[in-house]
Amino acid sequence: MYSSSSVSKRLILIYVLAIQLLLINSELSLNTTNDYLNHTCLVSQGKYKTGSEYEKLIKHIMKMFYINSIRGYDLFGDSTFTAVLQCRGDSYGTKCRDCFVTALAALRRRCPWYKGRIIWYDQCLLSMDSKYSVGQIDYDNNFCMSNAKKVVEDRSEYIKVWNILVDDLTELAITGDNSTLYSVGEKRYKGGDMVYGMVQCAKDLSRKACQECLWYNSFHFQDCVNYFRGARVVGRSCTFRFEFYPFIAKQVHNI
């Protein structure tokens, strides 16, 4: 027979192991989720025909993107076509390649034959444009997604905290030796809660354009991000996100 103390020890051990497995799975999920976010077909740019030179160009560039997706980013631009693959700063290697393959297949299905089209996933965006747009801020194709739950206490302090966090992360992303235009960090909110954030710009932007893009989006989407316990503003040129939980495995830089 087991004594009550030995049974208690076994139960505690089982509980500890369960918590460890839960934490491991939670951390893994930070980098393995790749939810579809949104897409847009740029109808005004028209469609291309099967067998056309435009289709051949797309196929050639997408093959190149597949090869280079392992590094997390690729870009092509000439007078008739611009394409961008941008994976999230912590998504590279096979994660970026898998996201690219998923995004390309979804674009073909959702926007068949359109010359211009953009699709966003949690870990990447894929954009095609029938004109030269390298280095230019896209002000038109932006959207916001906010959590359903709202902040119920001291909203003015909350808005102040996330605004400071976005500003600090923007500065971190565009200064020093940071050539990725990407940064993550966290800031303590009233009551002990931590607010976790991320900003990222497309690598074809200059540092000044990156800053302008993030400022523009943070200003124009205030109604979407204010008061909510987490939100993201996503675009072709830049994105930022904040949550009350660490959504990236290596969430560093306590700001």
233 and 165 both lie in a single domain: yes
| Predicted pLDDT at 251 | 52
User: In the predicted model, what is the mean pLDDT of residues 165-171?
Assistant: 94
pLDDT score of 31 more than 70: no
Structure tokens at 85: 């693959």
Question: Can you list the pairs that 209-216 forms with residues at least 24 positions away whose Cβ atoms lie under 8 Å?
Answer: 209/135, 209/137, 209/237, 210/170, 210/173, 210/174, 210/181, 210/238, 211/170, 211/174, 212/137, 213/137, 213/237, 213/238, 214/166, 214/170, 214/238, 214/240, 215/170, 216/137, 216/139
Total Cβ atoms within 10 A of residue 235: 25
We report the CATH number of the domain holding residue 230 as 3.30.430.20
Residue 108: inside a domain:
yes
Last residue of one domain, picked from the residues 104, 129, 154: 129
160 and 122 both lie in a single domain: no
Residue 184: inside a domain:
yes
124 and 146 both lie in a single domain: no
Cα–Cα distance list, 216 to 101, 110, 142, 213, 227 (Å): 31, 29, 11, 5, 19
Last residue of one domain, picked from the residues 129, 151, 171: 129
- Residue 201: name the closest of 60, 99, 75 by CA: 75
Last residue of one domain, picked from the residues 95, 129, 163: 129
Residue 17: inside a domain:
no
113 and 70 both lie in a single domain: yes
86 and 125 in contact (C-beta within 8 Å)?
yes
**How long is the chain?**
255
Element (H or E) spanning 211, and its range?
Answer: helix 207-220
User: In the predicted model, what is the mean pLDDT of residues 125-136?
Assistant: 96
Residues 6 or more apart whose CB falls under 8 angstroms from that of 93 comprise 70, 72
Residue 234: inside a domain:
yes
pLDDT score of 21 more than 80: no
Residue 8: inside a domain:
no
95 and 148 both lie in a single domain: no
Residue 1: inside a domain:
no
114 and 168 both lie in a single domain: no
Residue 73: inside a domain:
yes
120 and 164 both lie in a single domain: no
| Predicted pLDDT at 33 | 80
112 and 174 both lie in a single domain: no
User: In the predicted model, what is the mean pLDDT of residues 229-249?
Assistant: 93
54 and 121 both lie in a single domain: yes
State pTM to two decimals: 0.84
Total count of domains within the chain: 2
**Residue 59 lies in domain:** 36-129
User: In the predicted model, what is the mean pLDDT of residues 96-125?
Assistant: 97
Strand-pair partners of 195: 187
| Predicted pLDDT at 227 | 85
pLDDT score of 84 more than 90: yes
170 and 124 both lie in a single domain: no
48 phi/psi in degrees, rounded to 5: -110, 165
Q: Strand, coil or helix: what is 6?
A: helix
Residue 106: inside a domain:
yes
